[in-house]
Amino acid sequence: MSGEEFGRRYHNAYLREFGRDDRPDSPDAADRGSEGGTPLPEPPRVMTRREVLGALGGAAAGVLFLGELYRSGALDGPAGPKPGSAAGVAAMKTTPVQFGMVIDLERCDGCLFCVDACRTENGLSDGVLWSYVFAFQEPDDDWTRFLVRVCQQCTQAPCIKVCPTTARHRRPSDGLVLTDYDVCIGCRYCEVACPFGVNYFQWGDPATYGGTFQGQRRDARGVAVAGDPPRGVMGKCNFCPLRQDNPETRGVTACAEACPMDAIHVGDMNDPDSAPNRYLAQRRAESGGNLPTFRLLEDLGTEPNVIYIGSPPSSRAELVEGPVAYEAWEFTENRRVVLEGPKPWFRRIGAQP
């Protein structure tokens, strides 16, 4: 199913749910002067997100909704060279800038400095971790390995395709997938559609160590995309867009700058001379051309722009405690609240203080 076909199929469902459908592939994309949109002839009955959530609960609904999108082919991208591949580099002169990362898991030691740097840079609320380091072991050995989970900055980003307001969008200057805090309505469609689990809903007012977020939110375009999002708005790892606007800090993120092992490299994945591609070429040369690399869930067709050096976790891998505990950094306080939301009032009745 093409993006246009997907846009037509779910157009009426978006209008019923939100009263508008501003997606780029919606039937009204060419006519933004009208409010909302014009209903199409009714397609076959499809449950709305609200109905699914009510019937099955958030977690199960997310799995079903995401599965439907991928089974329908709506989130598959057009065929073509993948960023960072030999064919992709050959075509880079006609390819727009697309920022991404090369993360060397063979150098990562699980120190969590990247997680703390991201939290500090963006003034994130307690318990919100846009960058996350998983420690795991394979059953055949007791060697602890690591996986640094950041936004994958997908070329075929499912979060952009399902956003009803175009709040989730791709910035033309560098291809970064960002959220316009002024436009986001907090429907959480992006959270459901993303297979990588990088989205956070802001349940309360933005607050961090010193209180309400005071940093800059607006990028060079004047769009609010940085820092802890306002209440009721979605947030995620964003590759530090304000740094990318500054020629002196372009190609650097807070997590890459803080990494003591020099494991994170940021830049244009379509430029063979960019920092991540140079590092990848260097490591391949050092390994005699036998360097193991992978992209997360690449078979889903989202075309991630983060390349990992190392071996991916197998289906038998198990999470373990890393050498540095999240509790040691006080990362886990209120973690359950920021993931699930405040406890409903009827569950607080009679609760112990």
Pair (131, 13) in one structural domain = no
Check pLDDT > 90 for residue 127.
no
Per-residue pLDDT, 46 = 40
Check pLDDT > 60 for residue 87.
no
Pair (258, 328) in one structural domain = yes
Within-domain flag for 218: no
Count of Cβ atoms closer than 10 Å to residue 60 Cβ: 12
Q: CA-to-CA distance for 52 and 64, rounded, in angstroms?
A: 9
Pair (8, 145) in one structural domain = no
> Which of these ranges, 25-34, 48-57, 131-140, 304-313, has the smallest mean pLDDT?
48-57
> How would you label 298-335 residue by residue, b for 16+ Cβ within 10 Å and e otherwise?
eebbbbbbbbbbbebbeeeeeeeebebebeeeebeeee
Within-domain flag for 26: yes
Percentage of the chain beyond pLDDT 90 is 54
Pair (247, 144) in one structural domain = yes
Pair (92, 15) in one structural domain = no
Phi, psi of 145 (to 5 degrees): -115, 170
Pair (3, 125) in one structural domain = no
Mind giving me the DSSP string for 151-207? Answer: ----TT-HHHHH-SSS-EEE-TTT--EEE-TTT-----HHHHH-TT---EE--S--E
229, 243, 239: which is closest to 181 by C-alpha?
A: 229
Within-domain flag for 98: yes
Q: CA-to-CA distance for 136 and 142, rounded, in angstroms?
A: 9
Within-domain flag for 102: yes
Among 76, 111, 138, the domain boundary falls at 76
Burial of 84 (0-12, 13-18, 19+ CB in 10 A): buried
Q: CA-to-CA distance for 152 and 257, rounded, in angstroms?
A: 18
**β strands within the chain, DSSP E:** 99-104, 132-137, 145-149, 168-170, 177-179, 200-201, 207-208, 211-212, 234-235, 264-268, 293-294, 306-309, 318-319
Pair (252, 290) in one structural domain = yes
Pair (25, 93) in one structural domain = no
121, 147, 96: which is closest to 249 by C-alpha?
A: 121
Per-residue pLDDT, 255 = 97
What's the rounded mean pLDDT across residues 105-119?
A: 95
What's the rounded mean pLDDT across residues 318-334?
A: 82
**Which CATH number characterizes residue 316's domain?**
3.30.70.20
Domain count along the chain: 2
Q: CA-to-CA distance for 160 and 166, rounded, in angstroms?
A: 7
- CA angle centred on 55, ends 53 and 57, rounded to 5°: 45
Pair (64, 112) in one structural domain = no
- Arithmetic mean of pLDDT over the chain: 79
- Could you identify the residue written with the tokens 């708005």? 233
Among 57, 76, 95, the domain boundary falls at 76
Per-residue pLDDT, 73 = 44
Pair (114, 147) in one structural domain = yes
CB 324 within 8 A of CB 111: yes
**DSSP 3-state of 329:** helix
Among 25, 44, 76, the domain boundary falls at 76
Phi, psi of 307 (to 5 degrees): -105, 130
Q: What is the span of the domain harbouring residue 19?
A: 1-76
Within-domain flag for 342: no
Pair (2, 147) in one structural domain = no
Check pLDDT > 70 for residue 324.
yes
Q: CA-to-CA distance for 201 and 161, rounded, in angstroms?
A: 18
Kindly state the tokens that stand for 339: 């993931």
